[in-house]
Amino acid sequence: MASILAFGAFPAEAAPIRAAQDQAPQSHSTAAEESSPSQRFAQLIAAHDEWRLTVFPEYALRRGIDTRAGELTDSSLAGAYKRNAWIENFMIEVRALDASTLSAADAGDYFLLRRDLELSLEGFRFGAWMMPVSGRNGPHQDIAQMGDLATFTDLKDYDAYINRLLGVPGSLLGTMEVMRAGIEAGLLPPKVTVEQVPLQIRAARTSLPDALRKPFNTMPKTIAPADRERLLRDFERTLEPIDIVLTEFEAFFINDYLPKCRASIAASDMQNGAAFYAHQLKVHTTTALSAQEIHATGLSEVARIRAEMMTVIAKTDWYSADPARAKLPEDERFAAFVRFLRSDPRFYCKTSAELLARYRDVCKRIDPKLPALFATCPRLTYGVREIPRFMAPAQTTAYYQPGSPQLGEPGYFYANTYALDQRPTYEFIPLTLHEAVPGHHFQIALAQELTSARAFRKDLDSTAFTEGWALYAERLGIEMGFFEDPYDDFGRLLYEMWRACRLVVDPGMHTLGWSRERAIDFLKQNTALSELNIVNEVDRYIGWPGQACGYKIGELTIRRLRAAAEKTLGAKFDLRRFHDAVLLDGPVPLDLLERNINGWIAAEERRIAAQG
């Protein structure tokens, strides 16, 4: 999973942290009348990029632009409406441009920009942005990681950091204002997804001073002693105001917000809920598939993967150790094998340090395999980190935090070390392939390093592409030779089954009347995920409707396109060139990916024919 903290793609309905002054929409009509269509489009692209850099200063900072480094995104109600108003006005000019007059490359960018902004406007009207906190994200989690998401090389970097910290109290007040508006509008999250938030806030308050102080523990020697003393004094003065407002935020959450959160888990039970869920599926799968079609695809994939799992189980020493196991009915045999996996200590690390070391070892084993499968590899490096402990209990097993090529900051694969008896080692290989390389880090870093793509193309929000690629990357472990051990191979199938189950339970809960308990039971019956992971995952699907469907839909599309290329090109099929064709246009909707790959196949046929 790519991190929810990732800077880059900010839909208008998102309302992050505070203080940046929203630019008023500026008309480009006068200049447009005097320009060619391509020039007009370039002007619009420039205006859109300038606006993003202005209203999302954290994003600008990640791109190496520090003109607003001391500011935070305006998280207030007014800030959210101003951003949406800017897009509405901007879209008047975008729609006025005739895409048929543009070059093929510009027409493609026009389609993507217009699509992205129209989805954002559509999403804003549903009001989900008024629910900015869940068990997996919120300002209390973002604030605690502020010291990790910046580069500190000189005095101005530290002064900017202190200014950002000074903006945190106002940011929290802005978030509470948005949440109060959500209460008034009847837009509240399911209670089950936010019950742990008060404990998270309390834990964040405890860990915050040390977490935010980290940049000051390694100040560059170029900073004079007097400046060091002044910076530390200024920093210490930021802590009490932050704690005061976090305390207020905690009280507000417990007393005013949580009691009003809804008991229902279904998105369809919200205002305009059926339309909202259909919108979410369109956003995250980038297709027109209905909830029923996705559900049916999931059931089909579950049956297929279950058959493969039973074949792998028959290869294990557990199966061969007792002949009676072969005679068990399939469901009983599967359940018995899962109980064995959950209870055998050989599959679990004893310490957090051991778990992190094991993940780092897998990374080192994968890295040298990559050139055989990829013609183009990213230059940006990556590392493995522990998920902060205050947020670990409600977090997923892992996530990826993008780095910044502009700032020379590596990407990070964050692993969850909470409840070690729920983190089996047979998950380590597929999870590393997904979150690090050749999954999220590989794909996102390559997109960041594209030199010919416009800035908005590098971080386009396309769950089906980014998560579909990462799931496809897990399967590449077969070609790397990582799944010879049947337990590791079962771990791969476990992760594929997990994503197939999402296609069943996500629409099941949000439109087909499934209860939370039924979804949990379905995952228990069909996966070997730990019970903690299953509960956290189901709650994630409840709190983030439709997002989990993007993984399998995207992966199935990439696999289908690869199969088509292999069939057409036969022995001349070049996997390294295919991967370049998939990745080097940046994240795109699946329909555009299909068009791109079909065009690439035709070009490959011409190239091969020319070579004789």
DSSP secondary structure string for all residues of 213-277: HGGGGG--TTS-HHHHHHHHHHHHHHHHHHHHHHHHHHHHIIIIIGGGSBS---GGGSTTHHHHH
Reply yes or no on whether the pLDDT at 10 is more than 90.
Answer: no
Domain termination site, one of 553, 588, 603: 553
127-165 pLDDT, tens digit each: 999 999 998 889 999 998 899 878 899 999 999 999 999
Whether the pLDDT of residue 446 is over 90: the answer is yes
Report pLDDT for 150. Answer: 84
Residue 151 has a pLDDT of 87
Predicted pLDDT of residue 33? 55
CA-to-CA dists, residue 266 to 10, 220, 284, angstroms: 25, 51, 17
Triad 361, 338, 384: Cα angle to 5°: 20
Tokens of 249: 């935020």
Tell me the pTM. Answer: 0.91
382 membership: H or E segment, kind and range: strand 382-386
Query: What pLDDT is attached to residue 25?
Result: 44
Arithmetic mean of pLDDT, 252-263: 98
Dist. CA 441–CA 400, nearest whole Å:
7
pLDDT tops 70 at residue 19:
no
Is residue 4 helix, strand or coil? coil
Domain endpoint, select from 529, 553, 577: 553
Residue 330 lies in a domain: yes
Answer whether residue 71 shows pLDDT above 70.
Answer: yes
Is 598 within the bounds of a domain?
no
Average pLDDT over residues 253-259: 98
* Residue 569 CB contacts under 8 Å (≥ 6 apart), including other chains: 601, 604, 605, 608
Q: Is residue 170 in a domain?
A: no
**Number of domains present in the structure of the chain:** 2
> Does residue 465 fall inside a structural domain?
yes
Max Cα–Cα distance, the chain, nearest Å: 82
Boundary residue ending a domain (111, 127, 143) = 127
Does residue 35 lie within any of the structural domains? yes
Asked if residue 235 belongs to a domain, the reply is no
Report yes or no on 441 lying in a domain: yes
In a domain? residue 580: no
For 474-520, write each residue's pLDDT tens digit.
999 999 999 999 999 999 999 999 999 999 999 999 999 999 999 99
Q: For residue 498, what are the domain limits?
A: 280-553
Please write the tens of the pLDDT for every residue from 269-294: 998 999 999 999 999 999 999 999 99
